[in-house]
Chains A and B, each alone.
Chain A
Amino acid sequence: MAEPFLIGEAMTGGYGGADILHDCTIAVEKGQIAVIVGPNGAGKSTGMKAIFGMLKLRLGSVRLNGEDITSLTPQARVAKGMGFVPQTNNIFPSMTVEENLEMGAFIRRDDIRGTMEQIYELFPILRDKRRQAAGELSGGQRQQVAVGRALMTQPSVLMLDEPTAGVSPIVMDELFDRIIEIARTGISILMVEQNARQALEIADKGYVLVQGANRYTDTGAALLADPDVRKSFLGG
């Protein structure tokens, strides 16, 4: 089997004290959507942060496009083509929408107007609000700014940590639609989600984590159909 585009393999580690991740493997193929779900405290966000280099791994490795990036800093990983949208504090509140996007492209020295145009096409509301401070926008719009900011580096992988936390169901559907659209352009998506059912519906691959270890791994549809997964994690 060919190596996935991005893989965090057999990751073990934590924030210093006890390990949070135990031999956990998460991967995403090119242009696909992988979703990490699981109960509170399962290490979903930690797994994602480990892949992005925000915590030190004791064991295991992270490889992007075949290249071992385990020892790179998050900033270096951004330069390698990884985009990350944190769960909270993911915008520059006092700066305008446009400036947020500009800051997203800070490491780029070429013309960013084309990319900005693409983002305005993906999120038309941002074009209307581009002169407004991002902190004054609604929750859903802020998430769009946050995703847009991460897309400004033209990443090959976009990592989203609970993008729909705290937004209304309508906005959530809308965001998921946009995420599918992003994946269609060839960008791999790795996402942690609370709304497990909806997220698995759009997922090519799903990872159910429990206590920092893989419990179930399958396609999104198969996980949704699995009676054990349904009973334990999707509320029947």
Chain B
Amino acid sequence: MEPLNALVSVSNFMLVPALAYGSQLALGALGITLIFSILRFAHFAHGDTMALGTAAVIGGTWFLQAQGVSIAPLPTALLAIPFGVLVLGLYLLAADRFVYRYYRKVKAKPMIFVMASLGVMFVTNGITRLFMGVGETRFEDGQRFVFTVREFRDWTGLAEGMALRSAQAITIVTALVVMVALFWFLNRTRAGKSMRAYSDNEDLALLSGINPERVVFITWVITAILLVLAGTLYGLDKGFRPFNYFQLLLPMFAAAILGGLGSPLGAIVGAYVVAFAEMGITFAWRRVFGYLMPEGLEPSSMMQLLPVDYKFAVTFAILVIVLLFRPTGIFKGKVL
């Protein structure tokens, strides 16, 4: 029995990637939960606007690379994030101005908003593909690993190796910083509190002199920041492909609903639960159990509950189970 090797193996192939993936989902799910609690609709264009923001970052990265700008060992894309936020921020505000604001004015039902956001989703999707094509774009540069499998093995002397990719490390650290900053903003600043007040009780917020258009503006700006960060980090980690970003809609919504719609903390917890469930259930545990089981009892099969292709089925199952048995989610959010 070699528990240490088992731990390293499971960390390398499951825990660290899931932590990074969960962090990316969390940033996205936070946006969903914010939009849901403030604009009161399920933002279906979330995945595709994320792709558009990331496309802008990639464009910015190419420009910077052509200018010879580099912040090695960190990826150049990090420098292009403000540009991505600017582009996506303007795009989302334009979408709000030309699409959602009208429905807000006529006090449309949430389902109408959802359908409108579906339309925005298709348009955004088209724009992104126009610029980026449908194939995969890799834009990661700088140092690729914080430490490699070989370095880890030499360093610890264990049979099993482990690598930490820069993209993963950056993702986890960034997500942590952004979450802390977001909570600080929502709980400590005047603007943040006015957003929570508006989410809690729209009419009373109006009576208190809170300007709803301003709250909506701030919400879209924060959403743009969260989306560009989530999209860039996901792209650095796994490459950029518009269709993959569209598909992220499911796990992001599952995370927000599982955590409890409207609860930022819930979105984060939900995102990690979804990420670990997706990875855990589609992970081949053979190696890990090989180290854990007594000699002669090592598993002969892959010990994989579902093939990786079915990871979205896991998320979908989580979503269905939550909606059936606890529609308010872990942190007692609102019901969709």
**In the complex, A149→B201 CA distance in Å?**
13
Q: Which of A66-83 contact B (CB under 8 A)?
A: 74-75, 78-79
In the complex, chain B residues whose CB is within 8 Å of the CB of A84:
207
The closest CB in chain B to the CB of A94 belongs to B200
In the complex, chain B residues whose CB is within 8 Å of the CB of A107:
208-209
B196→A91 contact, CB < 8 A = no
Q: Does B193 count as interface, using CB distance less than 8 angstroms?
A: yes
The closest CB in chain B to the CB of A77 belongs to B207
A103→B194 contact, CB < 8 A = yes
If A91-B201, A93-B201, A95-B200 touch, whether A86 touches B193 (CB-CB below 8 Å) is: no
Q: Does B180 count as interface, using CB distance less than 8 angstroms?
A: no
**In the complex, A102→B210 CA distance in Å?**
12
A residues lining the B interface (CB < 8 Å): 74-75, 78-79, 84, 86, 89-95, 99, 102-104, 106-107, 149
B residues lining the A interface (CB < 8 Å): 190, 193-194, 196-197, 199-201, 203-210
**In the complex, A25→B179 CA distance in Å?**
54
Q: Min CB distance, A161 to chain B, in Å?
A: 12
The closest CB in chain B to the CB of A75 belongs to B209
B208→A106 contact, CB < 8 A = yes
B196, B200, B203, B209: the one contacting A106 at CB < 8 Å is B209
A90, A94, A99, A103: the one contacting B210 at CB < 8 Å is A103
In the complex, chain A residues whose CB is within 8 Å of the CB of B206:
74-75
Q: Min CB distance, A118 to chain B, in Å?
A: 18
Q: Min CB distance, B264 to chain A, in Å?
A: 11
The 5 closest A-B pairs by CB, nearest first: A107-B209, A92-B200, A103-B197, A106-B208, A106-B209
A79, A89, A92: the one contacting B197 at CB < 8 Å is A92
If A86-B203, A92-B201, A106-B194 touch, whether A149 touches B208 (CB-CB below 8 Å) is: yes
Q: Min CB distance, A94 to chain B, in Å?
A: 5
The closest CB in chain A to the CB of B262 belongs to A94
